[in-house]
Amino acid sequence: MPENYITDEVKALIGTHNGPVLAFHPVEASEVRRFHQAIMDPARRYWDEAWAKSSRYGGVVAPPAFPPLAFRRAPDEPDPLDRMGEPGFDGNTRNFRGLPPVKVSLPRLMNGGYEYEFFRYARVGERIYRSSTYRDIYQRNGRSGPMVFVVVADMYTTDGNVPLVNMTTTTILR
């Protein structure tokens, strides 16, 4: 029988909430450039200020899935690369949006999938806020062994509590 990783302590995390947390930097034009170039999406709304200004967006915007990735490490936060070389550290801090840690000792982590609901693009210069909740944490025992699914629901907004995007992610610990 595989070990049960869904302890009472882990179960108690379901429903835990934080936020709104403000991203350290507002949306920056060059960050949008790096993002849309890396995803190889040349749409003008991401870079052509003259075109974007006369469009329904009113200015250059970031790609729809940008807000969740706008929460980069702040200058005063620890450098995760300091931990490289630690036994068992895979480069991923397993920090679920600053929510309390999920104490599951499975060594591998994978991205299981996403659900999005989009309302509006984030414009260059706007600030982004995030509110997060552990929606579910559960275990499945597959052929390759036990897997723990961590489901986090996020709401991203800009100033005035204007909704940008809702996102639900599933992370698999295995």
Partner 1 sequence: MSGICFEDVTVGQDIPNLVKGPMTTAHLVRWCAAMENWHLIHYDWKYATEHDKLPDVMVNGTWKQNVMIQLLTDWVGESGWLWKINFQFRGMNVPGDLLTAWGRVAAVETRGAYGVVRLDIGLRNQTGAEGTPGSATVVLPRRGGPAVPYPFDPACLGPAT
Residues of the shown chain interacting with partner 1 in the complex, contacts defined by CB under 8 A: 34-35, 37-41, 43, 45, 55-57, 63-65, 69, 72-73, 80-81, 84, 90-92, 107-120, 162-163, 170
CA–CA–CA angle 54, 22, 121 (5° rounding): 25
Minimum distance, C-beta of residue 19 to partner 1, in the bound complex (Å): 20
The smaller minimum CB distance to partner 1, of residues 6 and 106, is found at: 106
Residue placing its CB nearer to partner 1 in the complex, 6 or 109: 109
The residue to which tokens 């806020």 are assigned? 129
Which is closer to partner 1, CB of 8 or CB of 160?
160
What residue type is 19 in one-letter code?
A: G
Nearest CB to partner 1, comparing residues 5 and 121:
121
Measured over the CA atoms of residue 93, residue 94, residue 97 and residue 102, the dihedral's sign is negative
Q: Cβ(145)–Cβ(174) under 8 Å?
A: yes
Nearest by Cα to 31 from 128, 166, 158: 128
Place of tokens 């801090």: 93
**CB 120, min distance to partner 1, A:** 4
The least distance separating partner 1 from the CB of residue 7, rounded to whole angstroms, comes to: 25
Peptide bond into 146 cis (omega under 30): no
Q: How far is the CB of 15 from partner 1 (least distance, A)?
A: 22
Q: Which two tokens stand for residue 143?
A: 């052929």
Please say whether the beta carbons of 168 and 136 come within 8 A. Answer: no
Nearer to partner 1, 12 or 110 (CB): 110
